[in-house]
Amino acid sequence: MATTPDPSASPSHMPPPGHIPSEMVERPGATAHTMPISQVELLLWAALALLAFITRLAGLGLRPLSDAEAAQALVSWRLYQGLTVTHDAPYSPLLATANLVTFALWGATEFTARLVPALSGALVVLAPLALRRYLGRAGAIGAGLLMCLSPAALYLSRSVDGDILALTGAALLFIGIAQLQNGASARHSSGAIAAVAGLAVMVTAAPLVYSMVALLLTFGAALWLAQRGTHRPRWGELITALRFGIQAQRGRLVAILIATSAAASGLFLNRGGLAMMVDQIEVWARGFVPAAGVTALDSYAGSSVYPALWLLGLYEPLTLLAALFGLGIALGRRRPLDLLLVWWFCGGVLLDALRPGRSTGEVLLTLWPATLLAGLVLEKLAEMIRQQGDWKREGIVVAACWTVFAFGYTVFTIYTNNYSAIWQPLTAFGMLIVLLLVFWQWHGAASTLRGAVLAAVTALALLHVAVSVRLNYTPLADASQPLVRASAGEGLRDLVAVLQFVSAEKVNDPYLVEILASRNLGPAVEWQLRAFPNVRWVRKVEQLPVERGLMDTASRFPEVVLTPGGTLLTDEPYAGQDFVVRSSRQPASMTASAFIRWYLLREPQPQQLDKVVLWVKQSPTAHASKK
């Protein structure tokens, strides 16, 4: 029997020039460099794009900005006002520049402050479209859908956060690497541009870029060590392709570098933007120090960030479980792009665990490769169903499993309210095992397994959607959610409404009243007061010096004073009202039943409420009448 020789067995079996090795082709069986898109597939991608934009833009401005979001938005606001930006807290230079543009076009609001991250998150959803040859048609659509409905990606897309922009750059970088491995000279050029542009976006967006650089460098070193004895190391081909693409597109790459400088420097209006971009490596390095905090998004949260693997298991079990199976598929094929994805996922988990001062957005570094690995699994599942599926048999299995899932959810809910014993919810698992064994005998192992997997995927997908809705579409973010940790309080909008009423009463204008405010109130309050031009910010209201040389009747304090709390040290008649401006998670131990109830129903847990006090000077007649 004739056998096919192994090309890598000896140097005499080298492929001819221009030959593309089979392992460099992104999808098994693909022989063309293009993969035509059908009309049905095009409609599915159009629907997915529409869903991505709707989920990210719907109600985008309803929630007031939290302290972390406001700290980032205030950078753009100060630039818009022609003020100097300080380095008091780390911020994203790219997001500051983007928000400067949106503020100039449509004004400074909660919606415009979150618009660029939302659009960036929608683009990430569409990124798997460029990886169809690698993931397959069904795999690419499945990966895009998982990213579209991802609770973590959706939450960070609806926040003033530079990490979602960094994820966009990382996706572009991965697409560029995939195109560089495609073997066609045209794709070398486009792949080099995509890779360099993605890296430029990451460098200007967030310190997350250095985690990605560390993973790429270690992967390249590991691949070189593993293949240094071969005549043509595949990593060397990638470097050669990258060099060729850079040489062919030097003009465009220079334009990318100029655009990077402009994006980092606030269109050359923010002199400290370039310095902040360079300082991000120091910010990233501080993440290895416990409780250091690495971005503006976390500097006001007041508690450590949970590991990425735990967050994915809590919020996105479908993506995580599918990614674990995807590791087996990628390791079985052992192609360079597969190995890079495995290294990215496993290395991201390890790097995240080594960084106790991680930011909330660093979960995206693990989420992206997990989603692509899940896409490989979904493509494999779709292929199995197309070739071997029997909708009648698998449909019966799915219907039976869903009946057991509904029963299990009901009895678990009853158990969490102390109306049943633990053995009653566990009967659902017993029923599921018995049903699967019965179907195993009737329809065989293959049909039973496919039906069970379909039932599990659809059930976890429904949980995926439910968790995402509860996390992202409540009037206020729930600070007890591990991904949120600190949120804006319900009193922020009330505070502004009362200030407008007081200003109209005092000076016949809703914004021109003179206000004395302490900087300890936090960025969220400062953002809400941006429309009041006569605000004087001091470090501590009680330390305000008495102005001398004025009339004896001159007041030490103006008509309106804002303090973090306590009393106002003055003999003048002031009336105070407090407002809740922020909520933060209050760690509390939970029993097993309480945790299950929180996980199933997302009931809010104990939170710490921070208040500010609005002091309004009373007229002498009003003060006398109160006495």
DSSP-derived secondary structure letter, 212: H
- Residues 558, 438 within the same domain: no
- Residues 234, 184 within the same domain: yes
pLDDT at 545 over 80: no
Rounded mean pLDDT, 200-219: 90
pLDDT confidence of residue 29: 38
pLDDT at 414 over 50: yes
464 vs 426 pLDDT, higher one: 464
Cα distances from 53 to residues 124, 470, 562, in angstroms, run 11, 18, 39
- Residues 129, 234 within the same domain: yes
Decide if 476 contacts 597 (C-beta within 8 A).
no
pLDDT at 8 over 50: no
Q: Is 410 within a domain? A: yes
pLDDT confidence of residue 367: 95
- Look at residues 558, 551, 432, 434 and name the one whose alpha carbon lies nearest to residue 507: 558
- Which residue range is the domain that position 611 belongs to? 489-546+553-626
- Residues 361, 326 within the same domain: yes
DSSP-derived secondary structure letter, 339: H
pLDDT confidence of residue 335: 85
On average, the pLDDT of the chain sits at: 81
111 vs 190 pLDDT, higher one: 111
Which range scores top for mean pLDDT: 464-473, 538-547, 581-590?
A: 464-473
pLDDT confidence of residue 569: 74
User: What total number of domains does the chain contain?
Assistant: 3
Rounded mean pLDDT, 119-132: 94
Q: Is 35 within a domain? A: no
- Residues 202, 153 within the same domain: yes
Q: Is 43 within a domain? A: no
554 vs 486 pLDDT, higher one: 486
Residue ending a domain, among 381, 403, 426, is 381
- Residues 465, 359 within the same domain: no
- Residues 274, 161 within the same domain: yes
Predicted confidence (pLDDT) per residue in 292-343, tens digit? 444 444 445 445 688 899 999 999 999 999 999 999 999 998 888 899 999 9
By CB neighbour count within 10 A (0-12 exposed, 13-18 middle, 19+ buried), where does 295 fall? buried
Predicted confidence (pLDDT) per residue in 251-290, tens digit? 666 677 777 777 777 777 887 888 888 888 888 988 888 7
Decide if 521 contacts 612 (C-beta within 8 A).
yes
Q: Whole-angstrom Cα distance, residue 119 to residue 5? A: 51
Q: What percent of the chain has pLDDT over 70?
A: 79
410 vs 341 pLDDT, higher one: 341
The two three-digit tokens of residue 182, written as one number: 């495609």
Predicted confidence (pLDDT) per residue in 129-154, tens digit? 999 989 999 999 999 999 999 999 99
Largest separation between any pair of C-alpha atoms in the chain? 111
- Residues 424, 362 within the same domain: no
Predicted confidence (pLDDT) per residue in 216-242, tens digit? 889 888 877 776 655 444 555 555 555
Q: Whole-angstrom Cα distance, residue 262 to residue 417? A: 57
Residue ending a domain, among 408, 441, 472, is 472
Q: Is 32 within a domain? A: no
The model carries a pTM of 0.85
Which range scores top for mean pLDDT: 121-135, 227-241, 570-584?
A: 121-135
Q: Whole-angstrom Cα distance, residue 145 to residue 375? A: 10
Q: Whole-angstrom Cα distance, residue 95 to residue 163? A: 10
Rounded mean pLDDT, 496-512: 93
With cut-offs at 50, 70 and 90, classify the pLDDT of residue 2.
very low
Residue ending a domain, among 327, 353, 381, is 381
